[in-house]
Structure 1
Amino acid sequence: MTAASSPARYAESLFSLEGKLAVVTGANQGIGLAITQSLASAGADIVGVSFDMPDGDSTVRSMVEGLGRKFTPLKADFSVREQVTELAEDLAGRGVDILINNGGTIRRAPIANHTDEDFDYVLDVNLRATFSLTREIGRGMVARGAGKIVNTASLLSFQGGVNVPGYTASKSAVAGLTRAFANEWAVAGVNVNAVAPGYVATANTKDLRADAERSQAILDRIPAGRWAQASDIAGAVLFLCSHAADYVHGIVLPVDGGWLAR
């Protein structure tokens, strides 16, 4: 910071994403929508990806364009490998500066009843798509010597969970994959990190929150005493995408209200 610059301007520049192009998968709702808002608010243009992304008007488009940023909608089903390949090839040619691998899914069943089909489906969506998109888009970042990639891990990157073996396997692997990419690409100026959301009040946790006994048991374990909001996760992602995190490589950052500390 120079003598002529104010602390406020220094902080603004540290977190500015002006002129950047960010891809957010799962951008249509929940955590992905909140991440999209945070990145657009910081100045990034957005390519929003979802299996049900509308071509025309949408909540996410209105929000991004209302912030004065450009929005490009793309549609892909991450359980279909051919669609992931086509998406990756498309995005690789766009000069992407920031990649947020947020799109994901979950299938719940006791392990004894958890089918191979459910297991494969969850791994394709949560893990294989993350690997393919990161590899293809990241090549351009490495060539340019700059880029930010943030994966969505989970508390189940650290723990086993109950009734979600496919999800746990995929999110544990996402944590390892994050470190593997970081080990190779940090020297090229590409930051690869992950966030590990705790219990977030989104559609994915609706059933948990509706179960009064289960919800209270979760809250009793969280030192912060509340469920996370999607914006809590979005703030951590913005940090990892900013110049403030230029020397942060290969971390899996829990945003869990203190759950893992308990």
Structure 2
Amino acid sequence: MELFDLSGRVALVTGSSRGIGRTIAAGLARAGATVVLNGRDPERLAATRAELDCDSEAFDVTDEAAVTRGVAEVTERHGGVDILVNNAGFQHREPMLDLDLADWDAVLRTDLTSAFLVGRAVARGMIERGSGKILNVCSVQTELARPSIAAYTAAKGGLRNLTRAMTAEWAGRGLQINGLAPGYFATELTQALVDDPDFSAWVTGRTPAGRWGDLADLVGPAVFLCSDASAFVNGQVLFVDGGMTAVV
């Protein structure tokens, strides 16, 4: 179990005041990491910080200056960031012919550009120390597409290749960069879809495991990709989707 022990590691998890980010943050903390939560809503962030008994740093991951300041603050308090989980993101559902450019830009900026900004800011310190883990939270939409989510699909597809680009440039400096791609998970943000009988039937029928994902299903894979157990795993995307991307 020593391979999965994160004791002494500092983990910054973006978009972690709720949902997938909160679950991954809690899982890393249980594995021994010192966790720093991130989000843009100070009140929600403070509530999650109290629940998990960890540190937090509120900053906008799409604002380069704010990212630079936020990462510097975390580094000053903790001496550096050993693990970065780029989880911040959101969904916008609208047919592509009706999609405003502003909405397209907002999704790309939050779901893709933020990973570039925060990843680069954190990687500078990791490269100096010669080690570090970056985990980019992707999606089944990294591999698949469905109507009405063009911007999200483009962003998550781009995140897979950003993961590869980071690997190409930083793996030789001691970093491991990988992606974690959840399938359809029951969360606060997807509750309306879970409650929709037709959509829920489509999800369970399309997923070989026959169910929606439970957030706890993500913890083991995340700990693996953030620990020494994945020391020679680089540039990969691990799909945690109940087999959805394995079948037609």
Normalising by structure 2, report the TM-score: 0.93
**C-alpha deviation, 1:192, in angstroms:** 0.3
1:226 is displaced (CA, Å) by: 1.0
Q: Which range moves more in the overlay, 92-101 or 251-260?
A: 92-101
Listed one character per residue, the Cα deviations across residues 130-149 of structure 1 (whole Å, up to 9, x for unaligned) are 10111111111111111010
The reply to whether residue 215 of structure 1 matches residue 200 of structure 2 is yes
Structure 1: 5+ residue stretches without partners: 1-10, 66-70
Residue matched to 1:161 = 146
Question: Shift of the alpha carbon at 1:222?
Answer: 0.7
- Partner Cα distance (1:78, 1:23) in 2: 12
The equivalences for 1:56-71 within 5 A come to: 57-63=46-52, 65=53, 71=54
- Separation of aligned partners in 2, 1:219 and 1:208: 12
How far has the Cα of 1:85 moved from its partner?
4.0
Check conservation: 1:28, 1:53, Cα contact below 8 A. no
SS in 1 for 2:43: coil
Aligned counterpart, 2:67: 84
Paired residue type of 2:28 = L
Which residue of 2 is the match for residue 41 of structure 1?
30
Measured in 1, the distance between the counterparts of 2:196 and 2:234 equals 38
Whole-Å separation in 1 of the counterparts to 2:153 and 2:46: 35
Structure 2 unaligned spans of 5+: none
1:75: Cα distance to partner? 1.3
CA distance in 2, matches of 1:55, 1:198: 25
Q: How large is the Cα RMSD of the aligned pairs? A: 1.7
Residues 143 and 85 (structure 1 numbering): CA distance in 2 closer, same or farther, change over 3 Å? closer
Is the Cα contact below 8 Å between 1:92 and 1:136 reproduced in 2?
no
Query: Does 2:7 correspond to 1:18?
Result: yes
| Cα deviation digits, residues 120-177 of structure 1 (max 9, x gap) | 0011111111101111111111111110100011111111221011111110110000
Note the 1:192-211 alignment, pairs <5 A. 192-211=177-196
Q: CA deviation at 1:38?
A: 0.8
CA contact (8 A) 1:33 1:60 kept: no
Matches of 2:35 and 2:17 in 1, distance apart?
Answer: 12
**Secondary structure of residue in 2 paired with 1:193:** strand
Which structure has the larger Rg over C-alpha atoms? 1
Whichever residue aligns with residue 113 of structure 1, its letter is D
Amino acid corresponding to residue 8 of structure 2 in structure 1: G
Q: Which ranges of 4 or more aligned residues in structure 1 deviate by more than 6 Å?
A: none
Map 1:1-262 → 2, pairs under 5 A: 11=1, 13-54=2-43, 57-63=46-52, 65=53, 71-91=54-74, 93=76, 94-262=79-247
Q: Give SS of 1:204's match.
A: coil
